[in-house]
Structure formats: C-alpha cells, structure tokens
C-alpha cells in the first residue's frame, strides 16, 4: 500500500490532481446502483445548505476544481451515497494526556491511503482522507480530534456519508459541546459511532442513525454496535462485543501506560486480519489534540505527523494479507 501525506493550504492544483487520479474508481462505485439512485445536484446542494451551510462555498470551489461535471458535483455532496460497511475500534486513553486511538478496518482496494493537511476557510485540519474531502479521522488547530466506527445496523436512509460530517465538525467546531450539537442535528445515511476528544480531555461519542435521534454518550469506547447489538451476524463476524469488552476491561483494570495502550490496537482482538472479507485493519491512528500531532501505526512501523510542521511524504507499507483482492462487504 502506497500512503501519501499531502498539504495544500487552499483548494488548488494538488487537490484537483488527486481528484483526477481517484475519480474513475469513485465514479464507478457511485454509479453501482445507477444514476437515478443518487440525488440530483440541486438536491445535494440544498441538503448541504440546510445542514452544513458554512462549507457550501468550499463545496462550490471543489466542484469547480473537479471540472464542474454533474456526477462529480453530486458525488462531492456526499448526500445519500451508496451504502458501505467498515469495522473499526476507537478509545480514549485513561491517562492525563488526551489521546485518541483507533483502528480502521476496511477493504484495501477501496481506500484512499491519503493523509491530507489543509488550511481551508482559515482552519488547519489534518487526517485520513475519504472521498477526497471527507475524513474517517482527523484533528484541527483548535485541538479537536474525531474518529468514526460503523454502528452495526442495516438501515439506510436520507442523509450524508459520515466522512463529510467529520470534515464539517473539524472545519467549524472548536469544542466537544459544539461538535456534539452538530453531530446531533446533521442527518447521516447509515449508522455510525463518532467519538470527539478535545485538548482538555473532554469527550463525547455520538451514536448516529438515519431513523432515530442521535444518542450523545460520555463513553470512551466505540466498536461496531450502539447501545445493543442489532445486526447479529455482522456482530459475530467482526467480534464487536468482544472488542468492546476487551477495551473496557483493559481501561478499568490495567491502566496501561500510553504506549502499551496504543500497542494493544496492533494485536488481536483489536487488530483484524480479515482482509479477504474487507474488514482487515489498514492502520492504527493516534491523535494527541493538546500536542496537535498524530501518528499512523502499522506492526513495526510508525509515521509521525505534526499539524503545525506538517511534512509531505510518501511511504510504501506492506501489510500481510492486505494486498489480496477484497469484495465490498454487502449491506
């Protein structure tokens, strides 16, 4: 897997080049249920204006950089995208330093392998990209970090793909309270658990769903179910309950030093080798919002990045089993 770290203060030629590179595959995925299954450009833009109006000018700029095509603009709205599944585990370390750790479990063939650092709309943001302006985890210069896990429910509804919601939180929020309010009101098309941590070690986990109100919980752990297991076969396959229990027990009984806590994510039961099924652990991310730095870890390898002194680079990472072709998990 070739990972890249790219920095561009404002949307420009670097982003346009990335879009041109990734768009053919994203376009094929976006059309997999047919053009008519996706909202129109006007429907997507109206939804953005209704729920995330602050980033509509940014959306317009990106649509122009993407070439102004109808399909590209509809894709970039992230409104009612095709359904997709991931695994993932995330937790807040119990020590005094605010530290968020997460594993991203997904299929390697449908992943950007891209860390972006942007200064869009005057806000510094860095994190792991999805859909070229969405994020699956990240941090901003206000000392806010955020991460997602799939919520373990089959329901698909009207709302946004959650990576754009994470981008919106990082672009517009400075506190956990602000982030919680945003997550509680923005509709999502599937169920997700989104954990937010700030520099003062305040945190919240939002259990978001398209068909019921968001639950804001002061829980430091999230895997792939919400208050109860609702999709039993998915829960069994991903061992969501076992991973949650492992983390809760470890945090309550062991009080690990920071590095020992992080390293637990690089071993079973948190680390998944189910690459052939599309649920292998592609990376472990560590966010330290007070220090404004992050790490991407793999077994035996650590890549450190700093929000204030971000350095563009590329890394070839070999994860045994991840190169095997994986079919997209089905809802």
Given this model, what pLDDT does residue 18 score? 98
How many angstroms separate the CA atoms of 284 and 33, rounded? Answer: 32
pLDDT of the residue at 330: 52
Q: How far apart are the first and last CA of the chain?
A: 26
How many Cβ atoms from other residues are within 10 Å of residue 153's Cβ? 22
pLDDT of residue 331: 56
pLDDT for the residue numbered 86: 87
Q: Decide the pairing of beta strands 293-298 and 301-306.
A: antiparallel
Give domain limits for the chain. Answer: 82-316
Q: Quote the pLDDT of residue 326.
A: 42
The SS3 of residue 24 is helix
d(CA 276, CA 57): 40
Please calculate the CA angle 238-284-249 and round it to the nearest 5 degrees.
Answer: 60
Write the burial class of residue 81 (CB in 10 Å: 0-12 exposed, 13-18 middle, 19+ buried): buried
In Å, how far are 92, 98, 99, 254 from 201, measured between CA atoms?
A: 9, 5, 8, 20
- Which residues, given as ranges, of the chain have pLDDT below 70? 323-331
Question: Which fold does the domain 82-316 belong to in CATH?
Answer: Penicillin V Acylase; Chain A (3.60.60)
Q: In what order do the strands lie in the sheet with 114-118?
A: 215-217, 203-208, 192-198, 144-150, 134-140, 125-130, 114-118, 2-8, 313-316
pLDDT of residue 85: 86
Quick one: pLDDT at residue 328? 47
pLDDT in the model for residue 93: 97
Q: How many residues does the structure list for the chain? A: 331
């Amino acid at each position: 897997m070739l990972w890249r770290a790219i920095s561009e203060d404002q949307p420009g030629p670097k982003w346009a080049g990335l879009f041109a590179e990734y768009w053919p595959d994203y376009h094929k995925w976006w059309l997999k249920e047919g053009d008519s299954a996706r909202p129109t450009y006007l429907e997507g833009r109206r939804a953005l204006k209704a729920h995330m109006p602050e980033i509509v000018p940014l959306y317009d700029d990106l649509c122009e950089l993407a070439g102004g095509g109808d399909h590209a603009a509809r894709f970039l709205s992230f409104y009612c995208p095709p359904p997709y599944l991931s695994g993932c585990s995330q937790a807040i370390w119990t020590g005094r330093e605010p530290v968020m750790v997460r594993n991203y479990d997904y299929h390697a063939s449908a992943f950007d392998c891209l860390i972006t650092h942007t200064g869009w709309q005057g806000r510094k943001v860095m994190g792991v990209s999805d859909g070229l302006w969405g994020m699956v985890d990240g941090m901003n210069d206000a000392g806010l970090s955020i991460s997602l896990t799939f919520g373990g429910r089959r329901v698909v509804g009207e709302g946004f793909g959650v990576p754009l919601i994470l981008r919106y939180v990082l672009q517009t929020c400075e506190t956990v309270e602000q982030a919680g309010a945003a997550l509680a009101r923005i509709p999502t098309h599937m169920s997700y658990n989104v954990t937010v941590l700030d520099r003062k070690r305040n945190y919240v986990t939002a259990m978001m769903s398209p068909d019921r109100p968001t639950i804001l919980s002061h829980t430091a752990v999230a895997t792939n179910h919400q208050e109860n297991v609702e999709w039993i076969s998915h829960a069994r396959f991903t061992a969501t309950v076992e991973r949650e229990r492992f983390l809760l027990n470890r945090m309550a009984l062991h009080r690990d030093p920071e590095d020992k806590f992080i390293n637990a994510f690089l071993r079973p039961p948190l680390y998944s080798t189910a690459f052939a099924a599309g649920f292998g652990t592609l990376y472990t991310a560590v966010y330290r919002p007070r220090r404004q730095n992050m790490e991407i870890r793999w077994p035996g390898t650590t890549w450190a990045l700093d929000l204030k002194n971000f350095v563009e680079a590329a890394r070839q990472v070999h994860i045994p089993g991840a190169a095997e072709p994986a079919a997209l998990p089905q809802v």
